[in-house]
Amino acid sequence: MVTPGFLPRTLRGVGGVRLINMPGVIYPEEVLHGPRGAVTGSGKAHDKIPRWGVTSRQAAEMLGVTVRSARAILSRSNSKCQLVALPGEVACMYWDRRAVARLVAKRLPLVRKVPEKLCPAREACYILLISRSTLYRYVRRGLLKEYRMRHATETGVRVVTYYLRAEVRKLSARKNAIRARVEGLHKNRLQSEWQEQRGRLQADHHQPNS
């Protein structure tokens, strides 16, 4: 049996690197179950710090989150990484600095105080006299624009959706104007039908009996 020091044939699938079964080849356990960012052929950590890399702690500072959250965010985005173990030091994960910078550029702004010109979804629904599902439908139709940002609370950071209060009130005024116009047309139609019916009744009343 042959124990290769490298991966002669591999496939990349949803679960990462999948080794092809080869007759007479046994893959070492460190290759089959090697940690993320390790050397593909041996499953061991790298011995040199990559020039393009930043540590998990540095990435967390750039992203404004905890180290654990930074690792989770970078892992979900499939960012390039390398596990490095220097002599006498604990192994450390290094991430692609450019990937971290792209994530920083995409992250929502962190606010501690909501601007007065913005209102949450509950207030927008109250002004428009609609349900939350109707509010989301207005957003999909382009009638309203969402402003998402990370809101700092006592328990942590959470993403909150806000709406521009002026746009909500403008849409409410337009809805009220349309509703008033429709009600006016409906009232005029009812009055016209009543006048016609009244005229027919009067004509029938004054018509001589045959």
Q: Is the pLDDT of residue 65 over 60?
A: yes
Q: In percent, how much of the chain has pLDDT > 90?
A: 20
Over residues 117-131, the mean pLDDT reads 91
Confidence class of residue 8 from pLDDT cuts 50, 70 and 90? Answer: very low
The confidence score (pLDDT) of residue 169 equals 93
CA gap 79, 89 in Å, rounded: 24
CA gap 137, 28 in Å, rounded: 55
**Six-digit token string for 59:** 């990435």
Residue type, position 36, single letter: R
Q: Is the pLDDT of residue 90 over 50?
A: yes
Average pLDDT in the chain: 78
CA gap 146, 143 in Å, rounded: 10
State pTM to two decimals. 0.46
Note the CATH number of domain 108-205: 1.10.1660
Question: What strands lie across the sheet with 92-96, from one edge to the other?
Answer: 53-55, 92-96, 81-84
7 phi, psi to nearest 5 deg: -95, 100
Note the pLDDT tens digit of each residue in 160-196. 889 999 999 999 999 888 888 888 777 778 777 777 7
Highest mean pLDDT among 86-95, 118-127, 175-184: 118-127
- Going by C-alpha positions, the residue among 44, 38, 74 that lies closest to residue 58 is 74
Distance of CA 43 to the CA centre of its chain: 35
Note the pLDDT tens digit of each residue in 12-28. 433 444 555 556 666 55
CA gap 49, 70 in Å, rounded: 19
The confidence score (pLDDT) of residue 47 equals 84
- Going by C-alpha positions, the residue among 63, 58, 73, 74 that lies closest to residue 105 is 63
* Ranges of each domain in the chain: 32-106, 108-205
